Amino acid sequence: MSRPELLFPLFSDLETLDGVGPKTAQNLGQLGISTPRDMLFTLPHTGVDRAMRDTVEGASLPATLTVKVTVGAHHPARNRGGAYRIHVEDAHTSFQLVFFHGRSDYLNKVLPTGSTRIVSGKVELFDGIANMVHPDHILPEEDADQIPLFEPVYPLTAGVTQKTMFKASRSALARVPQMAEWIDQEQSQQAGWPDFATAMMTVHTPQAQGDLSPDALARTRLAYDELMAHQLTLALARASERQLAGVETKGTTILQARVRARLPYAPTGAQERAIAEIAEDMARPTRMNRLLQGDVGAGKTLVAFMALLIAVEAGGQGVMMAPTEILARQHLEGLQPLAEDAGVVLEILTGRDKGAERRAKLEALAKGDIQILVGTHAVFQADVEFSDLRLAIVDEQHRFGVRQRLALGKKGGTADVLVMTATPIPRSLALAQYGDMDVSVLDEKPPGRKPIKTAMVSTGRTDEVVARLQAAMDEGRQCYWVCPLVEESEAVDLTAAEERFKRLRAVLGEDRVGLVHGQMPPADKDAAMAKFQAGETGVLVATTVIEVGVNVPNATIMVIERAETFGLAQLHQLRGRVGRGDAASTCLLLYQSPLSDAGQKRLEVLRETEDGFRIAETDLQMRGYGDLIGTAQSGVPRFQIADLDRQAGLMAVAQSDARKLLAEDPELLSPRGQAARVLLWLMRQDEAIRLISVG
C-alpha cells in the first residue's frame, strides 16, 4: 500500500516551499521540519497585534505598534556602529526610527524624506523619546494589506526568521488538499468542528490571542485528528492481535471455590469485577490482551491467582513472570499458601536453576506436572516448553517491553496475556500507553489494611527520627530508610547511602543495619534483602531499588530522606512498602527547607491521601505529561498539537470512535474508512498502514 497521491504535495521536498533554499531547509530540520506536512503541523505559539493605529501617543510602551507616518529628516550615525535615526510624524506626534549599522543609500531608498510609509515594530521610550528600533515592516501605503492584522509567531531556530516561517507556512497551506472527512459526522457536528483544511487555515491565520488557545475549535479539531490516528493505530494492533486464534479456556470454579473458602475476608467489588472480566476474556476463542491496573495493596495477587486457576481448571497451565529474581521469589511466597489451599502444583524457575534440578523442572513442565510456574525472564529460554500454556501473566514493573510480551505469547502460541502494573496511571495516559489493551482497574483496598500515617519532618530533626527508629526496633519492628535521589550520578547516590548507613550503624548497632543499592552485585543485594526479610537486620538503608514489590509485613516505618527530590508516583510506591502487616505504620517525609511551592504541594497531597489514582492525576497536573512518563522510552507518543495535560477527554473519545469505526469497517474500505487511511498516512502512522495491508 503506498501513500495516496493527493498527499504527494505535502510530502515533497521542503525546498519546493517559497523562500526555502538548501541552507534554510537544513536549519528547519532542527525544528523537526522535513516536509511541507511538518511545516503545517508546526503551529504558531503566540501572535502580535498589528492592527493600524493613528498614533503612538497614549500607547502603554513598550509595545508593538503599526502606524502611518510621514518621513522627515535622516540623521546618519556620527561614529561607526552608532545609531542611524530618522525623524517621523504620525497623526498626533513625532518619534524616531532607529537603525544600527544603517546604510544611508538603502535607507534613503526605502524611507525617502517627505514620503508616506506604514511602519510596524516595537516602540520603546528612550530618554523620554519614543523609538522604533529596526521596524519589522516598512511599506508604501498601497501595500498596507500585506501586514497581517494579527501576525502569528512561530517557534524559531538558528538561521530561521519569522519572515521565513510565515512565508513557508503560507506556501504549505496552499497545498492542503480537500480531503474526505474521517471524523464521525455526528461527532464533528456536535463539537462544531471545521473540516481539516479550514482548521489548518484558521490555526495559521489567527485573528486574536484566543485563536491560539488549545481550546479553540480549529486547534481542538487538529488535536483530535492526531489522537484519532494514534488510537486507530492501537485499535488496528488490537484487532490484529484479536485475530490471533486463542483457546477457549473455561474454568469449572472448583479450585477457585477452595481458595475462596480459605480467604480471611471476601474479595472487594473491584477484585470480583476484574476476575469476571478476565474469566470472560479467557473463555473467548480469541487471545486475551488485558491490563490489570491496581494501586499498592489493592490485591492484584489474588486476582492473578484466580486467573491462573481458571487455566488449571480447564486442564492447562499458567505462568507468572517477574522482572527480577527477588520479585519472582516474592510472587512465589504470595502464591504458595493459595496454591496449597487449591491443591495445585506451583514451581519457580529462575536463572539460578542449574543442572539436574533445572532439567527435572523442565521435564515436569513439559509433561504438565507443574501447573503454575513463577519465573523471571529465564522462562523465555528456548529449552523451556509447556505442555499446554493457557495464560501468561507479566508483572510489568517498569515495563517489560511489548516484544517480550509477544515472545511470551509465542511460548504458548495461543496463550492469553494479562499484564499487571502497580503504578496507577491517569486514564488519559493509560489510553495512550496501553490503548491496544483492555483495562481492569482495582481501585478499592481490601478490608483489614491499616491506613499509613504520613508526616512531614524537616531534616533538622533527623536525630529525633533516628531515636524513633530505635524505639520501634526495641519493640521488634523494622524500618526502611530511603536515601535521596541525586540526578547527576549513581556514584553520588551511593555516597549518600553509604554515609547514612555508617551513621545509623554507629547509633543503632553494627549488625542491626543493612544496605542495598543499585551498584551492588545482584547476589549481595539479594543477601541483604533476605536478611531484612528474615528479620535479622532492623533497618534497611536503600536507594530507590526497593520501590518495587518488596514485601516485609513486619516493617512499619518508612523514612524518605530529601523527599522533595522524588516524584509523587515514586513516593507513593515507596510508602506502599509499609502497612503490609497488622501493626500501624508510618511514613516520614524528611524534607530540606525551604521547600518550593511545588515541593510543598507534592508532599501535602501525599500526606492527605493514599489513593494512588488521585496522586497520579495530581502528578500529571503538576509535572505535565512529557515529564511524568520520561516520554521517549515509554512507548507513549509525542503529539505536536494535542496537549494531553488539557485534552485528556479527547483521547477517550478518539479511542471509542476508532474502535467503533474498525468494528463496523475492519478493512477500512467504506468511504469513511478510506478517509481514515488518508489520515493515517498524513499522521505518518506507518505501523498502522502495514497492519491494514497485511490484514
| Domain identity same for 539 and 581 | yes
Q: How far is residue 85 from each of residues 74, 98, 135, 139, 141, measured CA to CA in Å?
A: 6, 5, 12, 18, 21
The DSSP 8-state label assigned to residue 144 in this structure reads: G
Q: Which domain holds residue 119?
A: 51-147
663/239 Cα distance (integer angstroms): 9
Q: Do β-strands 539-542 and 478-482 pair in parallel, antiparallel, or remain unpaired?
A: parallel
pLDDT digits (tens, 9 = 90+) for 319-353: 998 877 777 888 888 889 889 989 999 999 988 88
Strands 416-421, 513-516: pairing kind: unpaired
Which stretches of 343-401 are DSSP H helices? 355-367
Question: Would you place residue 145 in the very low, low, confident or very high pLDDT band (cuts 50, 70, 90)?
Answer: confident
Tens of pLDDT, residues 18-33: 888 888 888 888 888 8
Answer yes or no: do 403 and 516 share one domain.
no
Parallel, antiparallel, or unpaired: how do β-strands 150-153 and 46-49 relate? antiparallel
**How many Cβ atoms are within 10 Å of 405's Cβ, its own excluded?**
18
Percent of the chain with pLDDT over 70: 87
Identify each DSSP E strand in 364-421 by its residue range: 372-375, 389-395, 416-421
Distance CA 505, CA 513 (A): 6
Mean pLDDT of the region 263-267: 85
Cβ distance 133 to 79 under 8 Å? no
Look-up of cell digits 526496633: 473
172: left (phi over 0), alpha (psi -120 to 50) or beta: alpha
In a domain, 41, yes or no: no
Q: Which residue has the higher pLDDT, 102 or 387?
A: 387
427 and 464 together in one domain: no
Strands (E), 36-185: 46-49, 52-53, 63-75, 83-89, 94-100, 116-126, 129-133, 137-140, 150-153
List the single range of 6-20, 137-151, 218-232 with lowest mean pLDDT.
Answer: 137-151
H or E stretch including 348? strand 346-349
Q: Is 199 exposed, middle or buried (0-12, 13-18, 19+ CB in 10 A)?
A: buried
Cα separation, 154 vs 158, in Å, equals 13
| Boundary residue ending a domain (593, 609, 625) | 609
367 and 410, same domain (yes or no): yes
**Any domain includes 604:** yes
Please, which pLDDT band fits residue 383 given cuts at 50, 70 and 90? confident
Residue 410 pLDDT class (50, 70, 90 cuts): low
Residue 186 pLDDT more than 90?
Answer: no
- Please give the residue that has the higher pLDDT: either 619 or 474: 474
Q: Is the pLDDT of residue 489 over 70?
A: no
pLDDT attached to residue 582: 75
Backbone dihedral region for residue 373 (phi beyond 0: left; psi -120 to 50: alpha; all else: beta) = beta
DSSP reduced 3-state for 663: helix
63-75 and 94-100 strand pairing:
unpaired
Whether the pLDDT of residue 204 is over 90: the answer is yes
662 is written with which cell numbers?
474498525
Q: How many Å apart are CA 286 and CA 416, to the nearest integer?
A: 8
The answer to the question of residue 620 being in a domain is no
Residue 656 is assigned to a structural domain of this protein = no
Residue type, 149: L
Q: Which three cell numbers stand for residue 325?
A: 529474581
For residue 26, count other CB atoms closer than 10 A to its CB: 11
| CATH code, domain carrying 575 | 3.40.50.300
Cα 622 off chain centre by: 13
Say which amino acid occupies 422.
A
Boundary residue ending a domain (442, 463, 496): 442
The CA distances from residue 543 to 213, 322, 398, in Å, are: 42, 20, 16
Residue 240 within any structural domain of the chain: no
Yes or no: say if 216 and 223 are a contact pair by the CB < 8 Å rule: no
286 and 390 belong to one structural domain: yes
pLDDT in tens, 568-605: 777 888 888 888 777 788 899 988 888 887 788 888 88
In angstroms, the CA 525 to CA 199 distance is: 57
Instruction: Decide if 5 is inside a domain.
Output: no
The confidence score (pLDDT) of residue 407 equals 54
pLDDT at residue 398, rounded to an integer: 44
Euclidean distance between CA atoms 520 and 510, whole angstroms: 19
Answer yes or no: is 134 within a domain.
Answer: yes
Number of neighbouring beta carbons within 10 Å of residue 292: 25
Asked whether residue 23 is assigned to any structural domain, the reply reads no
Mean pLDDT of the chain, nearest integer: 82
- Mean local confidence (pLDDT), 197-225: 89
* Rounded Cα–Cα distance for residues 172 and 188 (Å): 25
The CA–CA distances, whole Å, from 506 to 435, 509, 540 equal 52, 6, 14
Burial, 167: exposed, middle or buried (Cβ in 10 Å; 0-12, 13-18, 19+)? Answer: middle
Q: What is the C-alpha end-to-end distance of the chain, expressed in Å?
A: 12
Total domain count, the chain: 3
Task: Based on the fold, state whether residues 376 and 336 are members of the same structural domain.
Answer: yes
Asked if residue 438 and residue 494 are part of one domain, the reply reads no
Confidence of residue 545 (pLDDT cuts 50, 70, 90): low
Q: Is residue 458 domain-shared with residue 334, that is, in the same domain?
A: no
Antiparallel, parallel or unpaired: β 116-126 and 137-140: antiparallel
- CA dist 105 and 103 (Å) reads 6
- Please state, in angstroms and rounded to a whole number, the distance separating the CA atoms of residues 616 and 569: 6
Q: Which residues of 308-331 are buried (b: 16+ CB within 10 A; e: fewer)?
A: bbbbbbbebbbbbbbbbbbbbbbb
Regarding whether 493 and 359 lie in a shared domain, the answer is no
CA distance 453 to 579: 9
437 and 467 co-located in one domain: no
Q: What is the pLDDT of residue 429?
A: 66
**pLDDT tens column, 60-111:** 788 888 898 888 889 888 887 788 888 988 888 889 898 888 788 888 888 8
Phi, psi of 148, rounded to the nearest 5 degrees: -65, 140
DSSP 245: B
C-alpha cell at 646: 488539557
Q: Under a CB-based contact definition with an 8 Å cutoff, are residues 312 and 388 in contact? A: no
DSSP letters, 441-482, are EE-SPPTTPPPEEEEEEEGGGHHHHHHHHHHHHHTT-EEEEE
Coarse DSSP helix, strand, coil percentages of the chain, rounded to the nearest 5 percent = 45, 20, 35
Place of cell 513625532: 94
Q: Is the pTM of this model over 0.85?
A: no
Q: What CA–CA distance (Å, rounded) separates 321 from 392? A: 8
Which CATH number covers residue 138? 2.40.50.140
Nearest by Cα to 384 from 397, 370, 398: 370
The reply to whether 400 and 494 lie within a common domain is: no
DSSP string of 318-362, one letter each residue = EEEE-SSHHHHHHHHHHHHHHHHHHT--EEEE-TT--HHHHHHHH
Q: How far is CA 349 from CA 252, 352, 385, 413, in A?
A: 27, 8, 12, 20
In sequence order, which residues have a C-beta less than 8 Å from that of residue 3 and are 6 or more positions away?
11, 681
Same-domain pairing of 437 and 460: no
The answer to whether the beta carbons of residues 589 and 603 sit under 8 Å apart is yes
- Residue pair 357/384 in contact (Cβ under 8 Å)? The answer is no
CA–centroid distance for 210 within its chain: 27
Boundary of a domain, candidates 147, 168, 189: 147
Around 621, how many Cα atoms within 13 Å sit in the side-chain half-sphere? 9
